[in-house]
Amino acid sequence: MLYFAYGSNLHHFQMKRRCKDSVYLKKINLKDFKLTFRSKYRAADIEPKKNSIVPGGLYEISKSDEKKLDIYEDYPTLYKKYYFYYYGKKVMTYTMVKKSAFKFPTERYLNVVKRGYKDCELDNKFLQKGLIGS
Protein backbone atom coordinates (compact mmCIF):
# COMPACT_ATOMS: atom_id res chain seq x y z
CA MET A 1 0.00 0.00 0.00
CA LEU A 2 1.01 3.64 -0.38
CA TYR A 3 1.74 5.75 2.70
CA PHE A 4 2.27 9.52 2.90
CA ALA A 5 4.67 10.73 5.61
CA TYR A 6 4.87 14.41 6.60
CA GLY A 7 6.52 14.35 10.05
CA SER A 8 9.06 12.14 11.81
CA ASN A 9 8.54 9.29 9.31
CA LEU A 10 10.22 11.39 6.60
CA HIS A 11 13.49 10.40 8.31
CA HIS A 12 14.68 7.54 6.08
CA PHE A 13 16.82 5.66 8.61
CA GLN A 14 14.19 5.84 11.34
CA MET A 15 11.41 4.80 8.94
CA LYS A 16 13.45 1.82 7.70
CA ARG A 17 14.11 0.75 11.29
CA ARG A 18 10.42 0.98 12.14
CA CYS A 19 9.09 -0.46 8.87
CA LYS A 20 11.60 -2.88 7.41
CA ASP A 21 9.69 -3.45 4.17
CA SER A 22 9.15 0.24 3.47
CA VAL A 23 10.49 1.69 0.22
CA TYR A 24 10.74 5.46 -0.25
CA LEU A 25 9.34 6.30 -3.68
CA LYS A 26 9.43 10.09 -4.03
CA LYS A 27 8.36 13.42 -2.62
CA ILE A 28 4.81 14.59 -3.28
CA ASN A 29 2.54 17.43 -2.15
CA LEU A 30 -0.77 17.02 -0.36
CA LYS A 31 -2.96 19.86 -1.61
CA ASP A 32 -5.41 21.93 0.46
CA PHE A 33 -3.80 20.98 3.78
CA LYS A 34 -1.35 22.69 6.08
CA LEU A 35 1.21 21.39 8.54
CA THR A 36 0.94 22.09 12.25
CA PHE A 37 2.11 20.66 15.58
CA ARG A 38 -0.15 19.79 18.53
CA SER A 39 -1.12 17.47 21.39
CA LYS A 40 0.82 16.67 24.55
CA TYR A 41 3.38 14.96 22.28
CA ARG A 42 3.90 18.20 20.30
CA ALA A 43 3.80 16.10 17.15
CA ALA A 44 3.12 16.94 13.51
CA ASP A 45 -0.44 17.02 12.24
CA ILE A 46 -2.21 18.17 9.09
CA GLU A 47 -5.42 20.12 8.80
CA PRO A 48 -7.50 21.27 5.84
CA LYS A 49 -6.55 24.66 4.42
CA LYS A 50 -7.51 25.89 0.98
CA ASN A 51 -4.68 26.70 -1.44
CA SER A 52 -2.05 25.39 0.95
CA ILE A 53 0.20 22.36 0.57
CA VAL A 54 1.98 19.89 2.83
CA PRO A 55 5.08 18.38 1.26
CA GLY A 56 5.90 14.83 2.24
CA GLY A 57 7.33 11.47 1.31
CA LEU A 58 5.50 8.71 -0.50
CA TYR A 59 6.38 5.19 0.68
CA GLU A 60 5.37 1.72 -0.38
CA ILE A 61 4.67 -0.24 2.83
CA SER A 62 3.58 -3.79 3.69
CA LYS A 63 0.67 -4.91 5.86
CA SER A 64 3.07 -5.58 8.77
CA ASP A 65 4.61 -2.10 8.30
CA GLU A 66 1.12 -0.62 8.58
CA LYS A 67 0.57 -2.48 11.86
CA LYS A 68 3.86 -1.09 13.22
CA LEU A 69 2.89 2.44 12.14
CA ASP A 70 -0.52 2.03 13.81
CA ILE A 71 1.28 1.31 17.09
CA TYR A 72 3.78 4.15 16.65
CA GLU A 73 1.04 6.65 15.75
CA ASP A 74 -1.18 5.45 18.63
CA TYR A 75 -3.98 4.63 16.18
CA PRO A 76 -6.95 5.05 16.66
CA THR A 77 -6.58 7.06 19.89
CA LEU A 78 -4.19 9.85 18.89
CA TYR A 79 -4.27 9.56 15.09
CA LYS A 80 -6.89 8.30 12.67
CA LYS A 81 -6.32 7.24 9.08
CA TYR A 82 -6.97 9.61 6.23
CA TYR A 83 -7.06 8.45 2.61
CA PHE A 84 -6.55 10.46 -0.55
CA TYR A 85 -5.86 9.72 -4.18
CA TYR A 86 -2.62 10.51 -5.95
CA TYR A 87 -2.82 9.99 -9.72
CA GLY A 88 -5.60 7.46 -9.22
CA LYS A 89 -3.80 5.52 -6.51
CA LYS A 90 -5.11 5.35 -2.95
CA VAL A 91 -2.72 6.75 -0.35
CA MET A 92 -2.96 6.45 3.45
CA THR A 93 -1.75 8.98 5.98
CA TYR A 94 -2.55 9.81 9.60
CA THR A 95 -4.21 12.88 11.05
CA MET A 96 -4.89 13.68 14.70
CA VAL A 97 -8.28 12.83 16.15
CA LYS A 98 -8.36 15.83 18.53
CA LYS A 99 -7.48 19.14 16.91
CA SER A 100 -6.01 20.76 20.01
CA ALA A 101 -4.15 24.07 20.10
CA PHE A 102 -0.73 24.54 18.49
CA LYS A 103 2.23 23.33 20.54
CA PHE A 104 5.82 23.92 19.49
CA PRO A 105 7.60 20.56 19.02
CA THR A 106 10.45 19.38 21.23
CA GLU A 107 13.94 19.96 19.89
CA ARG A 108 14.55 16.23 19.57
CA TYR A 109 11.39 15.64 17.54
CA LEU A 110 11.98 18.71 15.40
CA ASN A 111 15.51 17.54 14.58
CA VAL A 112 14.13 14.22 13.34
CA VAL A 113 11.61 16.05 11.12
CA LYS A 114 14.35 18.41 9.82
CA ARG A 115 16.53 15.40 8.97
CA GLY A 116 13.54 13.90 7.14
CA TYR A 117 13.08 17.09 5.13
CA LYS A 118 16.73 16.72 4.04
CA ASP A 119 16.34 13.02 3.26
CA CYS A 120 13.31 13.69 1.05
CA GLU A 121 14.66 16.99 -0.34
CA LEU A 122 11.60 18.94 0.81
CA ASP A 123 11.38 22.72 0.93
CA ASN A 124 12.08 23.88 4.50
CA LYS A 125 9.81 26.91 4.14
CA PHE A 126 6.76 24.68 4.65
CA LEU A 127 8.24 23.37 7.89
CA GLN A 128 9.01 26.94 9.02
CA LYS A 129 5.40 27.94 8.26
CA GLY A 130 4.10 25.00 10.29
CA LEU A 131 6.23 26.11 13.24
CA ILE A 132 4.63 29.54 13.44
CA GLY A 133 1.33 27.93 14.38
CA SER A 134 -0.81 30.28 12.31
Taking only the tens place, the pLDDT of each residue in 72-97 is 999 999 999 999 999 999 999 999 99
For 44, phi then psi, to 5°, come to: -70, 145
Q: pLDDT of 103-116, one tens digit each?
A: 999 999 999 999 99
pLDDT (0 to 100) of residue 89: 98
Instruction: Read off the pLDDT of each residue in 26-52 and give the average, rounded to a whole number.
Output: 97
The contacts of residue 38 (CB under 8 Å, 6+ apart) are 45, 96, 99, 100, 101, 102, 103
Q: How far apart are CA 7 and CA 116, in angstroms?
A: 8
The contacts of residue 73 (CB under 8 Å, 6+ apart) are 79, 94
pLDDT (0 to 100) of residue 133: 78
pLDDT of 120 higher than 80 = yes
Work out the angle at residue 77's Cα, subtended by the Cα atoms of residues 53 and 80, and round it to the nearest 5 degrees: 35
Cα distances (angstroms) measured from residue 122 to each of 6, 11, 63: 10, 12, 27
Residue ranges covered by each domain of the chain: 2-132
DSSP strands (E only) in the chain:
2-5, 23-38, 43-60, 79-86, 89-96
Which pLDDT band holds residue 45 (cuts at 50, 70, 90)? Answer: very high
Q: Does the global pTM surpass 0.75?
A: yes
pLDDT (0 to 100) of residue 118: 98
Alpha helices in 36-123 (DSSP H): 63-72, 107-119
pLDDT (0 to 100) of residue 134: 65
CATH topology of domain 2-132: Hypothetical upf0131 protein ytfp (3.10.490)
Which pLDDT band holds residue 70 (cuts at 50, 70, 90)? Answer: very high
3-state secondary structure of 74: coil
